[in-house]
Amino acid sequence: MGFILGILILSFLLNAVTIIPFINLLYKIKFKRQRQETRDALNKPTPIFDMFHRKKAGTPIGGGFLLIFNTTLIFLLSFPYMYYFWLPVYSVYPNITAELKIMLFGFISFGLIGLYDDIKKIFFGRRDKFFGLRLRHKLLLEIILALLLAFWLYFDLKISIINVPLIGVIDLGIFYILFAAFVIVAFANAYNITDGLDGLATGILLIALIAFWVISGSILDTPMTLFIAIWLGSILAFLYFNVYPARIFLGDVGALSFGATFAVVGLMLGKTFSLIIIGGIFVLEITTSLIQLLSKRYAGKKVMAVAPFHLWLQNRGWHESTIVLRAWLATIVLAIVGLWLAFIT
């Protein structure tokens, strides 16, 4: 544990040292949020969203790229060090290589989708009829990657069960692939939707990952514990610059990567229901957005004045910082409940 805590500190320091030059680089290449009209999944204007986010125009996005790069670099360098100095490496899975492959592939591949979407929004958004990737194109790419990850979870790590509190273990068999793919895609988009206020999604993820870190440590899974520690260090450094008023945003490159990887970690820990509880704010955000979208699409009217939930609160007069801090507090409570469920099932 001493080595892992040291790596967490190293991750924090590396990101803290590199983030300011990275912000300056983003300003130099004009990789920042543009002052222009945004559109929803139905390609309709979103005036309320634009009203609250107009002041954020000009803030650099793409911070997720730096965090993904630094986290991956430190993680890959840590394992040769551990083997060289004969440090113990334990895993709940017999195939550590497959475990590493699944974590890093999800982390990087979803980030690449987000990076492409960010580039398209910033440099080509004004010339396209649609702002960024079309929803169906983005979803298709996400589903393909999620199915591949779910395939590996099932065939390489032999995961096919879910623990349901008060009921017991349910073996989904081959249908686990579809279930896992759905969870990964859902959380990738849930995180992306939640990442709308300064420090909101990042702070929630930080708290949720600490809960997952406790679970991974309790089952003595070294690769997972190490990966989460490095990821936590990068988020801690980033959050300093992401809280209100934010100096940098994750962008889709970070949001899609972090959401998908959060789901993958929860699935690999075998705590699906804890994943849903601990990530409850993410679930709330995407659920309100989905209800709003379906209502507008098929009923021709809105259920809420605006969605997702954090934007609805903002529209009702809540200050941005108030929403963020209360969401963090709610996540602390949810994390405690999720940990309780994890240890009784």
Which residue ranges make up the annotated binding site for Mg(2+)? 192, 252
Q: Is the peptide bond before 223 cis (omega within 30 degrees of 0)?
A: no
Closest CA to 345 of 284, 280, 269, 260: 269
Residue with tokens 């899609």: 256
At 310, list the tokens.
């954090």
Per DSSP, the three-state class of 245 is coil
Residue type for position 1? M
Q: For CA atoms 104, 88, 205, 168, give the dihedral sign.
A: positive
Torsions phi, psi of 169, nearest 5? -90, 130
Query: What type of residue sits at position 307?
Result: A
Q: Do residues 212 and 267 make contact, with C-beta atoms less than 8 angstroms apart?
A: no
Report the distance separating Cα 190 and Cα 178, nearest Å.
18
Record the tokens describing residue 279, joined without a space.
Answer: 């990530």
Phi, psi dihedral angles at 244 (to 5 degrees)? -65, 130
Contacts of 265 (CB under 8 A, 6+ apart): 103, 209, 212, 216, 224, 227, 228
Residue identified by tokens 């793409």 is 62
Q: Please name which of 224, 235, 226 lies closest in space to residue 2, comparing C-alpha atoms.
A: 226
Distance CA 57, CA 41 (A): 21
Asked if 62 and 119 touch (Cβ cutoff 8 Å), the reply is no
Q: Phi/psi at 176 (nearest 5 deg)?
A: -60, -30
Binding residues: 192, 252
- Radius of gyration of the chain, Cα coordinates, nearest whole angstrom: 20
